[in-house]
Each structure stands twice: as C-alpha cells, then as structure tokens.
Chains A and B, each alone.
Chain A
Amino acid sequence: MSSEESPQITRRTTRLSAANSENAVDSSKSCALKPLSVNDLLYGNSPISLEELISSFPGRRGQIIELMSLLGPVNSPMFPTFVYGGSSTGKTSVVLNIFRHLRRPFVYASCITCYSPRILFESILNQLMLHRKSDSNGYSSIKRCDKPSDFVNLLREALSGVIGTLQGNAEKAGSKKAARWPNGKMVYLIFDSLNLVKEWEKSSTILPFLFNLYDILRMPEVGLIFISNNSLDTYYADTGFVEPFPFHFPDYSEDDLRQILLKHQVNKNLYSSFLDVVLRPFCRITRRVNELSTALLPLFKKYCEPLGDLGAVPNEDMKRKLYGHLQRHIAPSLNETFRVSAGLTSGASRSKDNKRKGIVKKLEACTSSNELDFHMSTSAKFLLISAFLASRNPATLDASFFDSTGGSDNRKRKRKSSAKSLEQKETAEQELLMKGPGTFPLERLLAIFQCLTSVAEYSPDVEGQGNRATMGDSGYIGSHVLLQLSSLCNANFITKGGSCPLEGSTRYRSNVSEDMVLKVARSVKFPLSKYLYRR
C-alpha cells in the first residue's frame, strides 16, 4: 500500500505546488496560475536524499541503486530501458522518486489515462511545451496530433526547445537560483503501463514505433523509460523491434512484505506478532501488497478484540492468548481473501471482460444469505428465471417441460435409463463445465416466459394484485417485457451475444449462477426445480 499509492495523484498535486516557484522561462499565459516553466518537469519542489529514498521503499534497495546506475551521472546518455515486473511491486513510484532524488526533468505519460495514441502524443507534447489546459484555451491541447509521423516532428521540435532552455540554465549555473533548477540537460520520457497498449486497435504499429522512438529521434539528450507489467517476450511484432534494455522488478518476498506492512502501523510490536501468525498462510495465496493489506485489515481488528489497550507491547503469554483467539478466524478468512477486493477492483481490472463480470461477481458474493439484497420487479424476476431455464435446458425438451400434455413420461424415461448411460452422463457433465450456459433466441425466451407467467397465474397466491393484471395477459407480451430484458442485459444478468450465422437473429445467454436464480425463484414462490433439466 505504501509503495503503490497512486503516483499520478501525488505527482499532480506536487506539480501544482511546484508551479508556484519563480523564474519564468516563457510567459504569455493568462489566469491565476503562474505559467509553467522547465522546473515543472521536475517531481515536486523538495528533493529527497538517497537514504530517504531507499528507506521509503523497503525491499527495493537493489533495484533503486541499479536503476540509478542505469540512468548514469548527470548529462550521460542512456539506452532505452524497459522496466517490468508484476503489478503492485512499486515500479512507477520507484522510478518517479528516483527522478525526484536526482532532480532531472522528465515527462510522464501513463497509458492508463492516455488511452489512445492521440491522447498519449498530445499529453507528452503538452508537458514538453509547458502548456496547461485551461479555461482560456478551451481545455484544448497545444497541438493536434494523432499520427506518429506528426508526433515525431513535433516532439523533435519540443525536445530541442526544452534542451535548449536547460542548456541555457546550465550556463548561468553560477547564480543563486541554480539549486532550484533541474539537473543536467537530459530530458526523460517515461511511458507507464505499456502493456495496455497491446489492447489498442493500432497496437501493431504503435508498439514498434515506441520501441524504435530512440533510433527515430536520434537525439542523445533524450532518455526513454518504459514501464510494463509483462516482460519483453510478450510483445510481438512482425519484423521485431529494437529491444530496449530490460530491467526486472521481482515481486516482494515475505520479509519485504512484512516491512512494508509494518511501515504505517502505530503499534509495531503488536502488528509484528500479528504478522507472525497470518503472513505466511496469506502469502501462499497472493504476494501483492494491495490485496494483502485489504485482506489483513479486518483480521487485525479481530486480533485486537480481546485487547483493552491497543498501545500495549504484547508478551509471550498474551501473544499465545491472542493467537488462540484468532486461530479459528484465519482459515475462513483465507477463503474470503478476495471477497471485498473482487467488488472494489472490478473497475480497475484489466480487460473489459473483467469489468463487465464484476457486477455478477459481486452479486454472487452475497449467496450466503437467503434473501436478495436488491429490488427487482416481478416480471423481471420471471424473465430472469426463464432466461436461466432457456440457457440450461436443451431446447428439444422445452415441449415436455412446459406443455402439460407432452410431458413428464419423457423425463421419467431419462431418469430410469441412468444406470445404462452413466458414462454418457459424465461426458455431458464435462461438456457443461466446458461450454457453460447455452445461448437462445429471443423467441424461445419469450415463449418460456409466457408459459411461466401463465403457470404463476394459476397458482393461488403468487404476488401482489397489481402485477397479476399485467402478467395475466398471457396472450400478449407488451413492450415492458422487452424493456425489462434490455435492462437485465445492461445489468449483465443476461448477455447479448453475436448473431447466429444460420438464423441471423441475436442470441442471448444467461450469466446468473444457479444459487442466485434459486433465490429469485424462492422470492416469487416459483418451483424452479420442477422445470430444471438434470443430466
């Protein structure tokens, strides 16, 4: 947590405060904010010493020193460097803080916020040309640029401008203000989260372009640093690219994690004895700082429950007592490690797919209770049940389930022959595991829905009276059902798949787990198991 508190935010605030420094290099900007100067390419106003830097990143000493040797002494050119390592290992913050320590000017662009080539290019140019989006310029970028070719020309121009200023500064270096000025005449470009570029539309041209940027620019005063989650061998290109210099950030070891987790604790002794107990089993599941810290938080509260005084230094006896208290909580909480984070991180998770699944994940998380914890109209509930049935049951058996005459003997035959076709059953089960819920056309869903609502109407006390009026109208399906369907699609209970190549109609698929549907069925008193085909 300590090492990965979003660096962009801290950076932005420090940038603003940095903007208050004097010595304007260029002016002609209106508004209350002071015009930007080359100093704003630095990280913050206050440099930190090497000891501070190393002590603020426990377990990263080796990486910091090696990375600094890669950057080299002032004014020394460098090879493009590719920093990689798992998420939440402190790549970005270490790199940025090294620049803060060295006081060298740099431009930072994260591919998380710069999600398209154009935004990436313009953000870099804005920073280099000391341009600030504001009311007076309509929050526009300084240059419009979406092609790599334009970008290279503009970048060259901007870089030589900045380098010129820096050189001018260096010549005047005798004066008092020199201490505030950036160090040296190198400018560094930092591209963060490069692995996201792989998912861009034009990734096949943008990635080799970025990797070759150093050779294209041919400016020794520019240093390039790429930060990525994945190693270089996961970047493919047709004819390859000039490989940047690889630099690895390994995941934290258990000892490092202990130090990091201890860092912001008030009562270090207490927490340390707590970590003695829990850290090892949790490390077997994940070694990411962010996930561990959220998982350990509630557990530590439990640990402290028997304690009256939180500032107490625990002795052996007390430790044993606390351990006895905590022991029974550890195993269940291991299995709930990601319950909270599943909902929280879904927005930030990697692919779009993950994001969409996030909602269902959260909903599944509440299966333990018997009640639904959200409201849904009755017809939506029936629609959800019919979608579930349409997904699970084979279409050929619809008649036997829903047609009162065609019925049940078909099912019985299946049941009886089970001894003979045990093997068949197993393969079918395997298939269900592999293929997941099936798809169905809209017509089938509506037909099942109609059957269900007509059944529900005959059963004695189903629902409130108002609903029955609309639902009982079994001959006609109003537009409200279609509206419900689209809102269910939006809520990701049902996904709309691609159209079937043969029929051409859109196909749907239900995403809901069986537990969830059972709960829904219970809430409308619908006998779901009667209609569910068991293999």
Chain B
Amino acid sequence: MGLKNPVEQAVILLRSRLCNPNFIFTLFSDSPDSNYSKLKYIISSSVTESCNNSVLLLGPRGCGKLAVLELVLEDLLREFPDMISVIKLNGLLHSDDNCALKEIARQLCLEHQLAFSKMASSDENSQFLIAMLRECGLAHKTVLFVLDEFDLFAQGKQRLLYSLLDAMQSVTSQAVVIGVSCRLDADQLLEKRVRSRFSHRKLLFLPPSREDLQRLLEHALLLPSGSDLPHEFVANFNSNLLNIFADKKFKDIMDTVFNTDSTFKQVLTFLFSALCHLDLKCGFLSVENFKDALSNIQRQPKLECLKDCSILELYILVCMKRLEVREHETCNFNSIMKEYKSIHDSFQTTDYYARDVCRRAFEHLLQRELISFLDNRGHGHSIEFRPVKLLISWQELYQGLKSYGSCPAILYKLVERETTT
C-alpha cells in the first residue's frame, strides 16, 4: 500500500473501532458480575450439561445486548467447536412464521452442508426442524436460536415460539432460545402456552455508569502502541487525548451527553461525530471537536424547520396557534384564512397575499410536517376543508420566531400576547 499519512491511518483505525460494537464491549467482558459473564455461564452450562434453556436479554436500544451476545457466541464457538450451531433470526425480517421456519431451515442446511430447497412447504420445514433438533440432540450438539427483536415474534399466534419451545420439552433435544428485546415487558407478551414453556431467565442491560464511560472513552480513543503507526505520533496523540480528558470543559461536555442520553450507542455516535471533526492537518483531537460534536447530536429539528419557513408560512402558523389558544375545536384552511384576514384587517400588515399563494404555503407546511391532517381518510375532500392540527408547541413557535432573523415584529407580538391573556 505504500506509506500513508499516519493521521489518516489513525482516523481509519478509530472509526472502525467505533463502528465495531464487538471491540467496544470487550472492555466489559472481564469483570465477573458483568452481563457477559452471566450470559456466558448460562449458555456454556447448558452446552456442557446438554440441557435445554431459554433466556431473555432486555434493555433499551443501544446498550449492547447483541454485541455482548456476539462476543459470548464467538468465545463459545472457540471453546466448543462442533458442539454449537447458531441460528439467527430477526423479528423485523422473520416475524412471519412461514418465513421464519424457512430461514431456520436455510441456516440449518448451511450449517450442516445439506441441500436447501426453496420450494419446501412450511410444514416440511417445521418437520425438518424437529428432526434436526433430535439429530443434534443425539449428537450432543446444541442449537442456539437467537431471536433479535423478540417482541415482534410475540405478535400474532406465536406459532414459531410455541413450536420451538415445545420441541425443547422433549428429552432428546438440546437447544437454547435467546430472545433479545428492547421491550422490558417482552415476557408478558407471551401467550400462556408459550409462557409456561419458557424459563423466565432475564438479563437486564443498562446504560453505562460514569466510571464505565470514562473507561470506554480511553478504550475507544487511545491509540495502541503496538501497531504500525509511528511511535512518536501515537505517544503525542495519546498524551494530547489524556490532557483533553482531564480538561474541565471536556468534563462539562461529557456531563451534558451523559445527562441527555447515556446509552452506549449515543456515546459512540458522539465520539464518531467528534472524530469526523478532527482536523486532518493538525492531526489531534481538540475540545472544540467535542463541542461541535455535541451540537451535532443535540438537534432540535422543529426549530430548524421553523427557521427554514418563509414569512408567509410563519403567518399561517401563528394564525393556527391563535385559533388553538382560543379553543376552536378544529381548524382547517378556511378558518385559518379567516383569521389571517382578521389579523390583516386589524394590523394592516404588509404581508397579505392571495388565497392561492397561501394555499401553497399551507401545502409547504404540510410537507414540512409542522402541521398535519387530523384524519388520514377524507381523500374526497379538498384540502381547504380537511381539519388540520399544529405539531409544534407554543414554546417552540415562540423560540423559533425569536431566533428567526427577519421575523416581522407583529408576529412576535401576536404570539406573545396569546400567552399573557
């Protein structure tokens, strides 16, 4: 490849680290009471003792449920080669029973070098599954079923869950079902016949603590000394980074990140954004990079949207807000136009446009999703008559007008007055 710029190389290395959850979570695998150890114990004991088991991994999105599971699976595959086969399903893809059975059959065939028939019926597939489970049991091979987005499998008749868990009731089979879900009440979604067959093991995944976060920062951002990067650069980079970590301003920024959303995913996104701001010429991260990153992940889309509006569109929003405050039960384009006219009549504004123009502005607002129709039906009605509602709060509108560069003073006054009265 030739000699490359060390800064670029370092950026690539750090970016691939942040994009690889397995790397991030190896940090937490050593402590004995971590989810990693617990999960590993549960699975490995059911592999060695050749019994059936089921477990749910629950926790908010972006807390590393799947990543930890992947790490465990990787380790176990290394420890017990030829004793485990893993079947991975995702509720987003396979919530349909027939589709799930087909996918299981496909993965089983792939794993055991069998020919997979696309034409097989769902009945044949399910028979194949049971036969395979028996065969694997006889061969002391554990089949691990990983069901991501577990809650989606619990929709409908739950035939797949039932047939899986029911097959595990027999002595010959040897399987572990691992459900992953961000719904903490995922086990409550199960039907009675499924729930009674399910062992109620649950592992809870939580956002990291402050200490963990600090470790995570160092783990993710410090460059390794043993790589092909120049030593001098690595040392400089790392010492610069440690200086930043100790900086008061940086600590404040991290506090803000932590207080708004402290999941791993969010922290990683924040770090990714900071890394993108890194100046390739100077080659080191700075506190400013982190500050920019903070403003990047803390967005206020509605305010941005208001800033993009034209003045006529703002007028319409203010009219709607006034109607809303006066507790008109519903409003539509016609009533807004009436209000618009009355504002014009009482204040003699310069911005009074024809109805057609206003309707286009109204359509723009609909497109921006600052307002929306109350009902999805009523396609027979023309736009003027369909009731609409405002999707922003008074505060947002007020703030939006305040930060809008050339907002007419009258609009500002109108909104302000609505609250004082």
Contacts and interface: CB of A to CB of B under 8 A. Distances in A.
B413 interface: no
A360 B382 contact: yes
B90 interface: yes
A147 to B, nearest CB: 6
Contacts of A58: none
Interface centre among A229, A287, A350 (most CB of B within 10 A): A287
Given A79-B19, A147-B99, A285 B385 contact: no
Interface string A478-499: 0000000000000000011110
Interface string B349-364: 0010110110111011
Contacts of B106: 153
Contact of A77 (B16, B93, B305): B16
Interface in B368-421: 368-369, 379-385, 387
A354 B380 contact: no
Given A72-B12, A283-B310, A434-B335, A354 B368 contact: no
B354 A335 contact: yes
Interface in A248-292: 248, 250-251, 283-288, 291
A87 interface: yes
Contacts of B363: 349-350, 354
Contact of A335 (B353, B361, B387): B353
Contact of A250 (B62, B304, B366): B304
Contacts of B97: none
Interface stretch (B27-35, B199-207, B245-253, B265-273): B265-273
Interface residues of A, number: 78
Contact of B16 (A76, A86, A239, A291): A76
Given A72-B12, A338-B357, A433-B338, A230 B369 contact: yes
B299 A284 contact: no
Given A239-B149, A334-B353, A352 B361 contact: no
B66 to A, nearest CB: 7
Contact of A73 (B12, B18, B308, B357): B12
Contacts of A381: none
A399 to B, nearest CB: 27
Nearest to B336: A433
B368 A339 contact: no
Interface stretch (A33-41, A118-126, A132-140, A207-215): A207-215
Contacts of B111: none
A285 B368 contact: no
Contacts of B360: 286, 291, 337-338, 341-342
A246 B299 contact: yes
A234 interface: yes
Interface string A369-393: 0000000000000000000000000
A86 B368 contact: yes
B273 A335 contact: no
Interface string A304-336: 000000000000000000000000000000111
A477 interface: no
B353 A285 contact: yes
B169 to A, nearest CB: 27
A283 B330 CA distance: 30
Contacts of B277: 69
Interface string B6-18: 0010011001101
A436 B385 contact: yes
A285 B369 contact: no
A357 to B, nearest CB: 6
A340 B35 CA distance: 64
Contacts of A220: 16, 19-20
B307 interface: yes
A284 B310 CA distance: 5
A231 B380 contact: no
B99 A336 contact: no
Interface centre among B61, B265, B305 (most CB of A within 10 A): B305
Interface centre among B297, B356, B359 (most CB of A within 10 A): B356
B379 A77 contact: no
Contact of A353 (B269, B308, B332, B383): B383
Nearest to B308: A251
A335 B356 CA distance: 8
B312 A284 contact: yes
Contact of A240 (B61, B103, B335): B61
B334 interface: yes
Interface in A342-365: 342, 349-350, 352-354, 356-357, 360, 365
Interface in A216-242: 216, 220, 229-234, 239-242
Contacts of B383: 353-354, 357
A352 B376 CA distance: 12
Contact of B276 (A70, A243, A339): A70
Contacts of A511: 382
Nearest to A72: B15
Interface string A137-154: 000000000011100110
Contacts of A209: 92-93
Nearest to A509: B380
Interface in B300-315: 301-302, 304-305, 307-308, 310-312
A149 B94 contact: yes
B197 interface: no
Interface centre among B106, B356, B382 (most CB of A within 10 A): B382
A357 B92 CA distance: 37
B12 A75 contact: yes
B368 A73 contact: no
B183 interface: yes
A230 to B, nearest CB: 5
A84 B369 CA distance: 13
A232 B369 CA distance: 11
A496 B380 contact: yes
B93 A149 contact: yes
Nearest to B60: A240
A436 B381 contact: yes
Contacts of A495: 380
Closest 4 CB pairs of A and B: A436-B385, A231-B301, A335-B354, A251-B308
20 contacts: A76-B15, A149-B103, A205-B95, A239-B149, A284-B311, A285-B310, A285-B312, A285-B361, A334-B353, A335-B356, A335-B357, A337-B360, A342-B356, A350-B363, A357-B382, A434-B332, A434-B335, A435-B385, A436-B381, A509-B381
Given A72-B11, A72-B12, A248-B301, 15 more contacts: A216-B90, A229-B367, A239-B149, A246-B301, A250-B307, A283-B311, A284-B310, A288-B364, A335-B354, A336-B354, A338-B360, A433-B335, A433-B338, A434-B332, A434-B385
Interface of A: 66, 69-70, 72-73, 75-79, 84-87, 147-149, 152-153, 205, 208-209, 212, 215-216, 220, 229-234, 239-243, 245-246, 248, 250-251, 283-288, 291, 334-339, 341-342, 349-350, 352-354, 356-357, 360, 365, 430, 433-437, 495-498, 509, 511
Interface of B: 8, 11-12, 15-16, 18-20, 61-62, 66, 90, 92-96, 99, 103, 106, 149, 151, 181-183, 265, 269, 272-273, 276-277, 280, 296-297, 299, 301-302, 304-305, 307-308, 310-312, 330, 332, 334-335, 338, 351, 353-354, 356-357, 359-361, 363-364, 366-369, 379-385, 387
